[in-house]
Structure 1
Amino acid sequence: MHELKLMDIQKKYKDKEAVRKFNYTFTNGVYGLLGENGAGKTTLMRLICGVLQPTRGSIYCDNIEIDSMGTEYRRLLGYLPQDFGYYGDFTAECFLRYMAALKALPEDYADSRIDELLDMVELKNVKKKKLKTFSGGMIRRIGIAQALLNNPEILILDEPTAGLDPKERVRFRNVISSLGKNRMVLLSTHIVSDIDYIADRILIMKNGELIQEGTEKEITDKVEGCVWKCIVSEKEAGQITSSFIVSNVRSSGENVELRIVSERQPVAGAENVESTLEDAYLYLTQIAGGEKNATL
């Protein structure tokens, strides 16, 4: 088991701090990195992979700075970037052979590993088809296969389910969940449901900072008593939506049922309901920052 330690990590681009004073220690398991677009997730992952260098701070793998580890560190890594490049005229099998060659994997090992991975991501029956004929979900599955070619002990996945339909997203989550049993998996997303059930620990980022971390229960417990449900008229719904964080809207006959995240009762008659990770995420990234929480 490996330990990855980030100490006071900062990444600055001119006047913008993409990552600021980030401290965390990762071990085995699935870590869900949650944050809106622009929160600094991709920059953080590229720093962990050594693609970018921090402006300040250090990253250690087993108490050794990753900069000094060279190929030894890269051997431990598997990386699926958000913008996954591929050659459309390559078949799935040829593309994985090409990637295996780039990773300097022995040919015999690569042959058996490619078959194993194509089976795991359920693409073995289309391994002779060109990638340009694949759906977005199939391409993402090829992406996870290439990231796993060297059987990495540290797997970094940046927005792996972006653009996938619900069925593909569930399939992908199941694959990731199985991978986290004996390795370190760091998965970034802005889609709460992607990590709700599979992440052992969840990290929430905002404006380049780590603002909260814990298990799903530890995080949702922080907003107990702050989630409300009410049924109101369409006119009232418009007023409430402009003043409060509304996590769900559903028509209920001539009225509207709202799910509201607020530190105080939003309207008379609103009832407390059990919190979810999505509620907690909205609270921690918006209400806690003072963006919305009015009284009508």
Structure 2
Amino acid sequence: MNTLTIENLSKTYPNGTEALQSISLELTDGMFGLLGANGAGKSSLMRTLATLQEPTLGTITFNKNDILKNPDAIRHTLGYLPQEFGVYPKISAQEMLNYLGILKGLENKKERKEQVNALLEQTNLYQQRKKSVATFSGGMRQRFGIAQALLGNPKLIIVDEPTAGLDPTERNRFLNLLSEIGENRIVILSTHFVEDIRELCTNMAIMGQGKIITKGNPNELISTLKDCIWTKMVEKNEVLHLKNRFQVISTKLIGGKTQLTIFSKTVPNEGFEPKMATLEDFYFTKSNL
């Protein structure tokens, strides 16, 4: 069992921006979702965990190793897929993975080749192995990103906003791939898409303004909203009036009318109907506080 412990982690940039404020989390094997809007601090946390930047305060230990004092303790067993990554324009996917395998310390040529080919098969890229990664579609490039992250059988994998910009088919393919790799290792999925967390993760945290707003099991978090979510179709000119009266957590324009969703512990008695709570409702409830 792998364990990643983050205690009182803070990061203040030279311009005074407090990107992280006293973050504390303990993660074990499985998929962990980190949910938050753009600018919430997710990428700053991911870069800090990947030892790409140092925190201002706090500690990070991985399997009892202090990775701030000894970054190699995590670098040797880390797979990282950032939001964007560059590739050499004329190198094939197979050659690129082989090169990255050398950098990761896979010295045995035969074993390295076997692992590269196995990862290309796992990510459904083997037929395109001779093509340059620079020519890949967005979804293919993300799958290649997972292949390189899995080189060396890492015990900690960090993926940052992996489904942004993917079409529905590629998104489903990518999420299925992620779900396959979440056993016997820690996988941190950082995203602003609620659906990614709901479909994959057994534990999660919501970030906002560099802080952890709440954390827990998605289903247990949703259950705290039982009998508290209500919805109603209203005319556009009613929205502002109702926002002044109720805790509106989301609005959606449908056929010229607005679907209003509110949080209320009591029956609103305003024509609202009860709605089964979702993780999206929970997220909006917390992010609108």
- Does 1:245 pair with 2:249? yes
Distance 1:122 1:259 in 2: 42
Distance 2:196 2:260 in 1: 21
Provide the residue aligned with 2:283 in structure 1: 281
Q: Note closer, same or farther for the CA distance 1:233–1:259 as it changes in structure 2 (3 Å cut).
A: closer
Aligned partner of 1:52 in structure 2 is 53
Residues 229-285 of structure 1, C-alpha deviations (whole Å, 9 max, x = no match): 21333443576579833243322xxx6361413336667111111110001000001
1:100 aligns with 2:104: no
1:41-190 alignment runs, 5 A limit: 41-106=42-107, 107-190=109-192
| Alignment check: 8 A CA contact 1:229 1:257 kept | no
Q: 2:273 aligns with which of 247, 251, 271?
A: 271
Q: Per the alignment, in what secondary structure is the counterpart of residue 18 of structure 1?
A: strand
* Displacement after TM superposition at 1:226 (Å): 3.1
Runs of 4+ in structure 1 over 4 Å off: 237-243, 264-267
- Paired with 2:174 and 2:253, the residues of 1 have a C-alpha distance of 28
Q: 1:3 to 1:135 in 2, by over 3 A?
A: same
RMSD of aligned residue pairs (Cα, Å): 1.9
Measured in 2, the distance between the counterparts of 1:89 and 1:266 equals: 62
Deviation at 1:134, TM superposition (A): 1.0
In 2, distance between residues paired with 1:249 and 1:274? 20
Residue of structure 2 equivalent to 1:294: none
Is the 8 Å Cα contact of residues 76 and 152 (structure 1) preserved in structure 2?
A: yes
For 1:40, the equivalent position in structure 2 comes to 41
**CA distance 1:120–1:3, shift in 2 (3 Å):** same
TM-score under structure 1 length normalisation: 0.90
Contact 1:229-1:273 within 8 A present in 2 as well: yes
Q: Is the 8 A contact 1:228 1:262 kept in 2?
A: yes
TM-score (norm. length: structure 2): 0.92
In 2, the alpha carbon distance for the partners of 1:232 and 1:268 equals 11
Partner of 2:18: 17
Structure 2 counterpart of 1:282, one-letter code: F
2:197 counterpart of 1:202:
no
Residue ranges of structure 2 left out of the alignment (5+ in a row): none
CA distances 1:27-49 after superposition (whole Å, capped 9, x unpaired): 10100000000000001011111
- Corresponding residue SS for 2:26: strand
Shift, 1:87, TM fit: 1.6
Q: CA deviation at 1:24?
A: 0.9
- Against the structure 1 CA distance between its residues 130 and 230, is the aligned structure 2 distance closer, same or farther, given a 3 Å change threshold? same
